[in-house]
Structure 1
Amino acid sequence: MQMAVDKWLLEQHLAGKHPHTLRFYTWMPAVISLGFHQHKYPESWQSLSWQGKKLDLVKRPTGGRAVLHQGDLTYAVVTSGLSNSRMQAYQEICEFLIVGWKQLGIDLDYGTAGRGYIHNPNCFGTATSADLVTNEGYKLIGSAQLRKDNVILQHGSMRLQPDAELFSRVFGEDFVTTEDFANLNFETIIDVLISAARDCFNIEFEIKPLTEDEWKIIVGVNGC
C-alpha cells in the first residue's frame, strides 16, 4: 500500500493535480522491499516470518537493492524542477536529511561504493553516493529514485532500530548495532526533518491526509 501511495502521488504531480509532497511512514507488519529491477533474491525470503507474521515481499517503483523494513522510518519526496543530473537531484533532495540529522546530533555524508554494489542483494550492505552514512561508517539512510519527465519520486529508509536477529536471518550477515538512535522517537525525528525541509526548500507545508475517494482510487488501480 505504501508503494502504491508513493507511485500515485508521483503520477498526480506529473499530471499537475497534486503539489510537491513530503511524507513519512512505517511498515506493518515487517516487509522486504525489492528494487524495481531486482529479480533475483534468496528463495528463503519467501518463507520468512517475524513475531508470528509472514514477511511479505513487495516491489518498489524505484531501483536499488532489497531493504528490510522493520524498525525503520521511511521518507518520500515527490517534486519537480530539479537538476537533470541524477546525482545532483539526489543531493538537492538529501540536503534536508543532512541538515535535519545534524540538528539531531548526527553528522551524515554520502557513501562512496562503486557499481559493484549491484551484486549485493542487501541495500544496506554497501553505501553508494546516493546514500548517507555517519562518521563511523554506519549507513543510516538508503535512498532510491524514479524519474518521469521532470517529476521525481525519491524515497528512502532510515535504519533506526532494526532487530539484529531478523537482519541476520534475512541477509546472512551480522548486524553491527549502534546506540546512537536509541533515545530518538520517530515523532521527534519527523518534526525535525520537516523543519529542515521547510528551511532548505524555502517552502511551507500543509498537512493533507488522503481523502476517502483518493484511497479508493489507489486501492482500485493497484489491486491492494
Structure 2
Amino acid sequence: MAIDRWLVEQHAAGLHPSTLRFYTWSPTAISLGYHQHKYPESWQHLTYQGQPVDLVRRPTGGRAVLHQGDLTYVVVTSGLTGSRAQVYQQLCEFLIRGWRSLGVELHYGNAGRGYIHNPNCFGTATNADLVLADGTKLIGSAQLFDKGAVLQQGSIRLEPDPELFSEVFGIHPKAIALPITAHGESLIVQVTEALSAAAEDCFGVHLEVQPLSSSEWTAIEHE
C-alpha cells in the first residue's frame, strides 16, 4: 500500500512514469478501504496457516478485501478525461481484453449504493467491478485521484480458500469457475502475462519491467 501511494504521488509530481503493477500478499492480509472504520474485532485475531492475518489500510476507498489466493493489480497514470465512472471503464478495458484472451468474458456489476453497508468488497458488485457470466465477482477495484493523477487498485480472485473467506466474512463464497488448467504460481504468471499484453494493446504502450531502486525503497520506507 505504501508503494502504491508513493507511486501516485511521484507520478502526480511528474517524477515517475505511468505504472502497471502486479503483486500477491505474504502474509495473508485484509485491506480496509480508506474511509472504512468499522469492522469486526475478530479480524484483529485471525490466523492463516500458522501466521497472523495482517490488517492494512488502502489509500483507495471501498470495502474490506481478503488478500489470499488473489492477484492485486495497480494502474497509476494521468491524462484521462471524463467522469470517474468513465475513467474506471477506460482503465478496466485491459482487464476485460486480457481475460477474454484467456477465454473468460467479464461484465460490469450492477449493485446499487447498498454496497456501503456490506463490509465485504466481494459481497456486492457495483458498476466499477467486473463479474463472470453467473454474476460472481472476479475483480473489485477502487480509485484515488491526486493532482491530476489516478491510482486504481484491484483484487483479482483466483484461488481463494473458502474456509478462510467464511471465517472472515461469515458467508460461503461462490465458487470461481475459470477455464484455465494452471494453478498456483503458474496461474499467476499466466494471468499477469495476459493482462500485461492487453494493457500494451489497449494503451498503445510498451511496458518495461523495472524494479524499485534502493533509493526509491528508502523514500517509500520514510513516507
Band of TM-score, shorter chain: over 0.9
CA distance in 2, matches of 1:182, 1:33: 27
Q: Specify the alignment match of 1:186 in structure 2.
A: 188
1:205 maps onto 2:203 in alignment: no
Amino acid at match of 1:208: Q
Structure 1 gap segments, 5+ residues each? none
1:115 maps onto 2:117 in alignment: no
Offset of residue 177 of structure 1: 1.6
How many aligned positions are there? 219
Matching of residues 49-198 of structure 1 within 5 Å: 49-180=47-178, 183-184=181-182, 185-198=187-200
RMSD of aligned Cα (Å): 0.9
Structure 2 gap segments, 5+ residues each? none
1:10 alignment partner, one of 8, 24, 28? 8
Amino acid at match of 1:94: C
TM-score computed with the length of structure 2 as normaliser: 0.96
Residues 109 and 126, structure 2, Cα contact 8 Å, conserved in 1: yes
Amino acid at match of 2:209: I
The 3-state SS of whatever aligns with 2:222 is helix
CA distance in 2, matches of 1:8, 1:84: 25
Amino acid at match of 2:221: V
CA distance in 2, matches of 1:182, 1:60: 30
Residues 144 and 156, structure 1, Cα contact 8 Å, conserved in 2: yes
Offset of residue 206 of structure 1: 1.2
Offset of residue 178 of structure 1: 2.6
CA distance in 2, matches of 1:85, 1:177: 33
The 3-state SS of whatever aligns with 1:169 is helix
Q: Specify the alignment match of 2:35 in structure 1.
A: 37
The 3-state SS of whatever aligns with 1:153 is strand
Amino acid at match of 2:102: L
Residues 161 and 181, structure 1, Cα contact 8 Å, conserved in 2: no
Residues 81 and 150, structure 1, Cα contact 8 Å, conserved in 2: yes
Amino acid at match of 2:144: L
Offset of residue 183 of structure 1: 2.1
The 3-state SS of whatever aligns with 2:77 is strand
Aligned-residue identity in percent:
62
CA distance in 1, matches of 2:156, 2:176: 13
TM-score computed with the length of structure 1 as normaliser: 0.96
Offset of residue 28 of structure 1: 0.3
Offset of residue 182 of structure 1: 5.8
